[in-house]
Chain A
Amino acid sequence: MLLKLFTKTVTVLRFYVKTVASYIHFLSMMKINFKFFFFLFILFSFRGYSQDTPTVSRDENYYDMSLEELMNIKISVASVKELTPRESPGIVTLITADDIKNFGARDLTDVLRMVPGFDFGTDVEGIVGIGVRGNWAHEGKILLLIDGQQMNENLYSTIQLGNHYPVENIQRIEIIRGPGSAVYGDCAEYAVINIITKKAKDIQGGGISAFYGQTNKGLAHRKTNIFLGEEQKDFSYTFSGYLSESNRSTEIYTDVYGNSYDMSDQSQIKTANINLGLNIKDYQFRGIIDNYTLNTRDAYQQILSKAYTMSFDSYFFELKKDYRINSKLSLTPKFNYKSQTPWAFDNASEQDEFERYKVNSQQYSGSLTASYDFNPRLNLITGTEYIHNIAIQKAGSVFYTTSTDRLGYENASVFAQTLFKTRVATFAAGARYNYNSRYDASFVPRFGITKALNKFHFKLLFSKAFRAPNTENIDLNPLIKPENTRVFEAETGYEISPSMFITVNAFDIVTKDPIIYYYDALYNDGYTNLERTGTRGSEVEYKYKSSGGYAGVNYSFYVPSGTVLRNYAVPVNPDALLGFATHKINLTSGIKISNHIKLNASVSFSGPRYGIVGLDEITGDTIVNKFKPVVIANLNISYDDLFFKGMSASFGVYNLFDSEEFYIQPYNSLHAPLPGYAREFALKISYNLHFNQP
């Protein structure tokens, strides 16, 4: 008991020492004297104190004013905390629960497909990941948060898409189509997908839904979801449970050697997901259990003799509390625990063909974030975070680096961001310094200027971002370095009317020392830092929304920036990168036929893409094919309050034209393109009950 207490005390002390040490290191890097910061702190504290009392009393005076008196008061510019998407320092896409319902989205892939610049590719072993603005972002370059929990697995930092994360309980998705490392840290290099599920006050009741979809060759999806939520005075809870089963595809897969198999019964995906949120006074708890299993036969290059079951088990727990010290200062301490066993295959009897792999990764992290409003227009958010990672071999292997069954490392970081809203423009500046116990530190600053001027808005953004090597990157290459990205973005938008909006942006991305995965014809694989990669391009988005319907169109375009890495290069076209179309157009539209019936259509058009389909028998060179443009069109008709209040039904046709959809590997590792879904017909029934309904 004493020993345990001692160990815990030492751990806590280590945390603080490392935190302080990383602050010191950060300051030294900024070449700023300690005493200057102490001086600054005193000044700000003094100013904060001096402002506090008069502000409160001033507001209270206003509270008793009559309408006539209020009409003579001048308004100040809005608080920086109330920045609209037009003013926020980022290229942002917001997707609401209504949008998801209108799309008839089967899973997150259906939602993200319609986001400008987003696309999908295949990795290995039947896994599908995300590309952003022409760049393969699957491994640690895009951050997926669900209710604040980082979904990227801890061994390779990947996100696995395809009938995975439930969309039924989402309240909104905030997507930053650009770097977010300064605020979010690791993985937020090219984009951040922040999913916020429905809060108790949004639910105040419960619901259940069932979905069944079929292609002409067999089952595509079947899934069920249940959710509950209630808010009382000092207590609220939300709960959701989700079960699903699907086939990755019902088409034929052919590897680079010409071997084929029918995916109908050999690409099954099963997902179980539980999400629990509890709020007791100011304490907030979140627990998520996510189990994703899939049958895979495509492996790395040559197909296997049969399908094997691989699993991704994840557990996330978070406890945090918001301390409101005064009207200006709030503190949020947060503790997280994450345990993941991704890419696991642990059947000893079948290990000859498909290698056993089971590594459990555990992450303990603590953070303290402070938010201070100097005045309504100047806000500072600063904080510190400590993360301890430990990976444990569970299938009898050892790590190359440690020669034991354990490999651990630590990250300590400090970050700060300030938003300053003036009548001229809104200014944002921020930075994060990340210290790691096994590789070089990273420092990523960020600056932004935004301005909303009547119907127009303008944004100029500069960000640096990093991807920290993860457990397997370190183990396969102990000399690995973090990769660093810098991005320039400019956006302008015009509000044609309250119902119509158009935005145009341009971006330039350069990643130095990119961490590249390779798997060659001699079956060698690993990670290495190469020179540089990147893209530049543009995105245009138009949206229209009225009470009778909505319409939207977006176009995205990229070209490679600088010399193209061999791993991403298309030999016949230097203006494209493997896997992703340089031109992509998405269309969404919906019309309200009656108070109960809505008809929605979405079309995603991808221009020509390039992918490796085979090996030249004589030279051994890869054969790259140009894939013709693809049109994925979906139709969805929904009927609300069917038979009785709260019951809804929707019928959808997905991939209406039965186009040949492929997930192409966006890097040269000899995995052939993985087929997607054929035309699917699906029915969804749901029932929602509100507790406070009369």
Chain B
Amino acid sequence: MINKKIENILSHGFRRSKLLFKAAVCFAVLFLCGSFQGNNEISEPTIKALFIYNFTKYVEWPVEKDPAHIIIGFYGPSAIIDELKKVCANKKVKDREVEIRQANDVNEAEKCDIFFIPQDESADFSYLNEQLQGKGVLIVTEEDGLGQKGAAINIIEKDDKIRFELNEASIKHAGLKISSQLLALAIKL
């Protein structure tokens, strides 16, 4: 039965007018796809990954938990992880490589220098923030309002651009030092 269908289709012939119409539709779709691609745009996970990578340059930790690595932990899955891996590949910050890992509980988070809480996991922020006080961990979040609630750095979106809030009190409680350059760029809380 199927062979007959193949024969039918192969012998069906070529309809020029239909092809032209479909080609026009095809061009229209492609044009539409292309029109959405701005020249000076970058995906949100990529730019957030770049921000996190850049934070490592401006923060001083009182104790190097791992002298060979700056450890960035993620609390749950995030599209930023893959981007950050690409950004940090073959790069060193202050002679230390950047290691990206999952840190799904407080014990794992304590071992990190930067601990990122993705937006979907923001509900656990208060608990995690409380548990990590004074442990030398820079907590970075991406949910509106969490900077006010005590996140050391809260990445936010404003007018299609990325900004970050910096909570100086939280940074002090975490036992960290930040450079004045970072402070100058931040929205201070």
Contact = CB atoms under 8 A, between A and B. Distances in A.
A35 interface: yes
A58, A376, A548 — most chain B CB neighbours (10 Å): A376
Interface stretch (A36-44, A120-128, A335-343): A36-44
Given A27-B9, A33-B22, A546-B126, A74 B40 contact: yes
A77 B122 CA distance: 21
A79 B45 contact: yes
B130 A422 contact: no
B50 A70 contact: yes
Interface in B143-175: 143, 145-146, 157, 160-163
B123 A547 contact: yes
Given A28-B8, A63-B87, A72 B50 contact: no
A18, A35, A51, A548 — most chain B CB neighbours (10 Å): A35
Contacts of B51: 67, 70
Interface of B: prevailing SS? helix
Contact of A547 (B8, B19, B38, B126): B126
Contact of A499 (B44, B123, B128): B123
A62 B126 CA distance: 33
A21 B6 contact: yes
Given A71-B162, A498-B145, A76 B15 contact: no
Contact of A70 (B33, B43, B104, B162): B162
Interface string B57-86: 010000000000000000000010000001
Contacts of A78: 43-45, 79
Nearest to A39: B23
A426 to B, nearest CB: 12
Contacts of A44: 30
B93 interface: no
B106 to A, nearest CB: 9
A306 interface: no
Interface in B104-130: 104, 119-120, 122-128, 130
Contact of A82 (B38, B79, B104, B162): B79
Contacts of A592: 127
A79 B79 contact: yes
A32 B54 CA distance: 51
Contacts, number: 149
A498 B154 CA distance: 14
Given A33-B18, A67-B185, A75-B42, A435 B2 contact: yes
B26 interface: yes
A531 B6 CA distance: 32
Contact of B45 (A27, A73, A82, A375): A82
Given A35-B19, A43-B30, A28 B9 contact: yes
B37 interface: yes
Interface of B: 2-3, 5-6, 8-9, 14-15, 18-19, 22-23, 26-27, 30, 33-34, 36-38, 40-47, 50-51, 54, 58, 79, 86-87, 102, 104, 119-120, 122-128, 130, 143, 145-146, 157, 160-163, 182, 185
Interface of A: 18, 21-22, 24-25, 27-28, 32-36, 39-40, 43-44, 47, 51, 58-59, 62-63, 65-68, 70-79, 81-82, 84, 201-202, 374-378, 420, 422-423, 435, 498-499, 545-548, 592
List the 7 closest pairs (A to B, CB-CB), nearest first: A547-B127, A76-B41, A82-B79, A545-B123, A36-B22, A498-B122, A547-B126
Given A36-B18, A43-B30, A547-B128, 13 more contacts: A18-B2, A24-B6, A25-B5, A33-B14, A44-B30, A71-B161, A75-B44, A78-B43, A78-B79, A79-B45, A84-B120, A375-B33, A545-B123
16 contacts: A18-B2, A25-B2, A28-B5, A33-B19, A34-B9, A43-B26, A47-B33, A59-B86, A75-B41, A75-B161, A78-B43, A377-B33, A420-B33, A499-B122, A545-B123, A547-B126
